[in-house]
Amino acid sequence: MALLDVQGLTTVVSGYTILNNLSFSIDENELRVLLGPNGAGKTTLISMVTGQFKPTSGKIFFNGEDITGRSPDEIFIAGISRKFQVPNMYETLSVYDNILISLQSARKVFKYMFKRVTPEDNERIWEILDFMELARKANEPADTLSHGERQWLELAMLVASNPKLLLLDEPTTGMTEEGKRRTAALIQRIAQNHTVLLVEHDMHVVRQIARKVTVMHQGQVLAEGALDEVVENEMVKAVYLGKGGQH
């Protein structure tokens, strides 16, 4: 059974059709890369799945449950974490605290109120900080981090929340080649225990990690399959790589 199953999703915003009867699914423990030219609707799809916007029609099933139209916090509780395109964290909190409040736990106000940081929590936080190479900055406020480190911190927060499905929206934006390579390695490592949907533009990164890719165009799925097959697809060449493009 598919972990995430999107059925006939259509989104119309002020007359423009952003997603057009889009259907696709991801299996458990899959690492899927979502490709597509600008305006294909990749980020919109993620926003729909995470409840930021409500679809005009269509259904989203997660783990067999209908999550269409639920609020972002409910969808998070169901097990979907999202990484934003621009690094998005709690600027004045320390790196440690950023991870702390991302840990998997009850989220209701009165359940949370008397929660303490247990030694296990502490252990887990340092494990994640070590894993993400952020341990040295643990006590620094997040706004003192460099751009690359911020991207990593947000990834670390997602890992801390231990979701069933991670939606990563261009996590390598604005990084150096070296940073991209290391981030790709990190994502591979994360994908060993999690299901990951990655939106990515950079073909080097895609080539480094992709097993199966989905290409979107004008709000629809254009092609799906192994990377090598997909890049040979004539339609994909036409819309994404430029007609007759050498690759």
Partner 1 sequence: MVMAGSGTGGARSARRARFVPIWALVLGALVVALIGTFPYYAGDSSYLLLLLGKFLCFAIFALSIDLIWGFTGILSLGQAVYFGIGAYFVALSLKINYALEHPTRYGNKFPDFMEWNGLKELPGFMTPLISTPLAVLCAVAIPTFLAFIFGVITFKRHIYGVYCAVITLAESLILQEFIIEYQAYTGGFNGITDYSNYVGAPFLWFILAVTVAFFLIARALTHSRIGTVLKAIRDNDVRAEFMGYNVANYRIFVFCVSAFMSAAAGALYAAWVGIVSFLDAGPVFSVEGVIWTAVGGRATLIGPFLGAFLVRGLEFLLSSSWLANYWQFFMGILFIAVVLWIPDGLVGTLGGWLRKRRRGTLEQIREEQDLLARDRQRDWEPAGAPKAGEETV
Q: Which candidate, 1, 15, 3, places its Cα nearest to that of 49? A: 3
**Residue from 12, 135, 238, 241 that binds partner 1 (CB under 8 A)?**
135
User: CB 40 → partner 1: shortest distance, Å?
Assistant: 22
Q: Per CB under 8 A, does 178 bind partner 1?
A: no
- What is the nearest approach in angstroms of partner 1 to the Cβ of residue 148? 13
DSSP helix/strand/coil, 20: strand
User: What letter represents residue 107's amino acid?
Assistant: R
- Rounded to 5 degrees, what angle do the CA atoms 214, 46, 153 make? 105
Name which of 139 and 246 has its Cβ closer to partner 1.
Answer: 139
147, 182, 201, 237: which one binds partner 1 (CB under 8 A): 182
Smallest distance from partner 1 to CB 77, Å: 5
Alpha carbons 34 and 43: distance in angstroms, whole number: 10
Tallying the residues shown for the chain, one arrives at: 247
The verdict on 132 binding partner 1 (CB under 8 A) reads yes
The type of residue at 56 is: T
Return the axis-axis angle of helices 147-160 and 177-190, rounded to nearest 10°. Answer: 0
Considering only residues 77 to 106 of the shown chain, the ones binding partner 1 according to CB under 8 A are 77, 81-82, 84, 88-94, 96-98, 100-102
Rg (CA), the chain: 18
Q: How far is the CB of 204 from partner 1 (least distance, A)?
A: 6
Q: Is 48 helix (H, G, I), strand (E, B) or coil?
A: helix
- Give the burial string for 128-146 (b: 16+ CB within 10 Å, else e): bbebbebeebbeeebeebe
**Of 213 and 221, which has the nearer Cβ to partner 1?**
213
Which of residues 130, 228, 229, 232 is near partner 1 by CB under 8 A?
130
For partner 1, which residue of 126, 164, 174, 202 counts as binding (CB under 8 A)? 126
Contact residues for partner 1, defined by CB under 8 A: 50, 52, 71-73, 76-77, 81-82, 84, 88-94, 96-98, 100-102, 107-109, 112-117, 119, 122, 125-126, 130-133, 135-136, 138-139, 157, 161, 181-182, 185-186, 188-189, 192, 204, 207-209
